């Protein structure tokens, strides 16, 4: 099998202005009574893309998926799939299949009957159905379990039956609603990679809904971060992490330290924020910051250096404080430093050597510092 990386590296239709979008949400709004689940949302997804909708529960991501599947009709706006307007098309006429969070395996049918169900609805001749079912069982490595019923399977096996059933019809798009939510951590990690391989092999477009950022980061080509029915940012995993477009996204994905203050200077070398915590921050990229307006400097914990001595040539981007908390996690150590302003900064250190030679301990004075390009300036 080809390595995923080489294919992935060259796959970026979203940066190609001529690329034809495959799924288009245009100004889609969905209201349930007074509650607006999806709010004037526009989004394009490309063919063969592995696309993740990420957000907390109730952010509208599942509603978006259910509108694509046809279980909900948008209150306003339109949804196009491969150029076709989906309005009024019932779920059973859409070239889209869904893998349900609960798997929704038919309890009264065997594994093979479950997989054959969709094919039978299409009126496929029996020999062909049998062939396709066998192929699917092989794909998910469940050949031995064909005659079992769902309750005679373990959680991981059920998940794979659900997957086989939803791809058996070769849909244009596969929708996955929290596909790994019911699995334990270890199985989840393995399955993530299986899903990615499967998507490459079948050449399908995947739209996955998840609340687990790690899952989204691992699997997706692009991630849409959603909140209150709106999309906050759509970007590749590294972009979302390293260049979040807002404080919400920065805070939602991973951990972040935010320094707030007025922008004192904007020049070609970047921007300077006069932080409220008693030290100046110089950022290499000014972003959208404008002079005299409030801005936030966002920096990830692993990009902060901690030293017991003042770093040499210290100008901006460094300050001292008291070691407030230390958490040893094995692969890394997390240190909380309390600045004199009362703000607590989170920094992490990779434990690349065995044994701790960390000279810092609770109550010590320590210096934190970071490079000008280690974080981003945010204005909203």
Partner 1 sequence: MNTTWSRFNIASVVLGFAFLYLPIVLLVIYSFNESRLVTVWAGFSTKWYGEMLRNEGLMNAAWVTARVGVLSASIATVLGTLAALALDRYTRFRGRLLFSGMVYAPLVMPEVITGLSLLLLFVAVGMDRGFLTVTLAHVTFSMCFVAVVVQSRLVSFDRSLEEAAMDLGATPVTTFFEVTLPNILPAVVSGWMLAFTLSLDDLVIASFTSGPGATTLPMKIYSQVRLGVTPEINAVCTVLIGLVSTGVIAASIVGKRKEVQRRREEQAAFAEGV
165 binds partner 1 (CB under 8 A): yes
Contact in structure between 258 and 247 (CB atoms under 8 Å): yes
From 145-153, 212-220, 221-229, 310-318, span contacting partner 1 (CB under 8 A): 145-153
Give the nearer residue to partner 1 in terms of CB position, either 159 or 233. 159
Burial group, residue 230, by CB count within 10 angstroms (0-12, 13-18, 19+): middle
Distance (Å, rounded) from C-alpha 236 to C-alpha 245? 12
117, 248, 324, 367: residue in contact with partner 1 (rule CB under 8 A): 117
Q: Tell me if 107 contacts partner 1 by CB under 8 A.
A: yes
Candidate list 42, 121, 264, 294; residue touching partner 1; CB under 8 A: 121
Q: What are phi and psi of 55, to 5 degrees?
A: 175, 170
Asked if 146 is part of the footprint of partner 1 (rule: CB under 8 A), the reply reads no
Closest to 216 in 3D by CA, of 201, 196, 230: 196
Number of other CB atoms surrounding residue 317 within 10 Å:
23
Residue/partner pairs of 138-144 with CB below 8 Å, 24 or more apart? 139/164, 139/167, 139/198, 140/164, 142/111
Signed CA dihedral, 199, 202, 204, 208: sign only: negative
Among 12, 80, 89, 104, binds partner 1 (CB under 8 A): 104
Q: How far is the CB of 54 from partner 1 (least distance, A)?
A: 22
Q: How far is the CB of 162 from partner 1 (least distance, A)?
A: 8
Phi, psi of 136 (to 5 degrees): -65, -40
- Contact between 100 and partner 1 (CB under 8 A)? yes
372 part of the interface to partner 1, by CB under 8 A: no
Rounded Cα distance between 152 and 136, Å, is 19
Does 96 bind partner 1 (CB under 8 A)? Our answer is yes
Pick from 128, 155, 197, 276: which binds partner 1 (CB under 8 A)?
A: 155
Rg over alpha carbons for the chain, rounded to the nearest Å, is 25
Q: Is 285 in the site for partner 1 (CB under 8 A)?
A: no
Binding mask 168-207 for partner 1 (x = CB under 8 A): -x--------------------------------------
Least Å distance, CB 270 to partner 1, is 51
CB-nearer residue toward partner 1: 143 or 373:
143
| Contacts for 76 with CB less than 8 Å, ≥ 6 apart | 27, 28, 29, 40
Q: Smallest distance, Å, CB 56 to partner 1?
A: 21
Question: Residues binding partner 1: what is the number (CB under 8 A)?
Answer: 35
- Residue 63 within binding range of partner 1, rule CB under 8 A: no
Adjacent-strand bridge partners of 126? none
Q: How far is the CB of 352 from partner 1 (least distance, A)?
A: 35
Q: Contact at 8 Å (CB) between 137 and 63?
A: no
Q: Which residues bind partner 1 (CB under 8 A)?
A: 69-71, 90-94, 96-98, 100-102, 104-108, 117-118, 121-122, 148-149, 151-157, 165-166, 169
């Amino acid at each position: 099998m080809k390595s995923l990386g080489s294919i992935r590296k060259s796959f970026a239709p979203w940066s190609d202005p001529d690329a034809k979008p495959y799924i288009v949400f245009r100004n889609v709004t969905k209201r349930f009574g007074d509650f607006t689940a999806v709010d004037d949302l526009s989004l394009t997804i490309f063919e063969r893309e592995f696309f993740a909708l990420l957000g907390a529960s109730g952010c509208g991501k599942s509603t978006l998926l259910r509108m694509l599947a046809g279980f909900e009709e948008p209150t306003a706006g339109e949804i196009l799939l491969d150029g076709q307007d989906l309005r009024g098309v019932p779920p059973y006429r859409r070239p889209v299949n869904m893998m349900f969070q609960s798997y929704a395996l038919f309890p009264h049918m065997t594994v093979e009957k479950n997989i054959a169900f969709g094919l039978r609805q299409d009126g496929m001749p029996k020999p062909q159905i049998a062939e396709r079912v066998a192929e699917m069982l092989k794909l998910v490595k469940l050949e031995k379990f064909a005659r079992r019923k769902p309750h005679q399977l373990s959680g991981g096996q059920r998940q794979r039956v659900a997957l086989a059933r939803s791809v058996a019809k070769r849909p244009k798009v596969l929708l996955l609603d929290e596909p790994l939510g019911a699995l334990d951590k270890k199985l989840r990690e393995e399955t993530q990679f299986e899903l990615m391989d499967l998507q490459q092999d079948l050449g399908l477009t995947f739209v996955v809904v998840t609340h687990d950022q790690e899952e989204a980061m691992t699997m997706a080509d692009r991630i849409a971060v959603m909140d209150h029915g709106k999309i906050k940012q759509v970007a590749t995993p590294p972009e979302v992490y390293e260049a979040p477009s807002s404080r919400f996204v920065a805070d939602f994905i991973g951990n972040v330290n935010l320094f707030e203050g007025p922008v004192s200077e904007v020049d070609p070398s970047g921007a300077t924020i006069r932080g409220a915590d008693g030290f100046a921050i110089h950022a290499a990229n000014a972003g959208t910051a404008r002079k005299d307006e409030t801005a936030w400097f966002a920096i990830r914990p692993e990009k902060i250096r901690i030293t017991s001595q003042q770093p040499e040539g210290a100008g901006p981007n460094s300050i001292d404080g008291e070691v407030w908390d230390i958490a040893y996690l094995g692969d890394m150590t997390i240190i909380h430093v309390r600045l004199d302003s009362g703000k607590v900064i989170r920094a992490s250190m990779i434990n690349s050597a065995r044994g701790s030679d960390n000279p810092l301990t609770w109550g010590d004075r320590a210096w934190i510092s970071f490079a000008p390009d280690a974080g981003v300036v945010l204005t909203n």
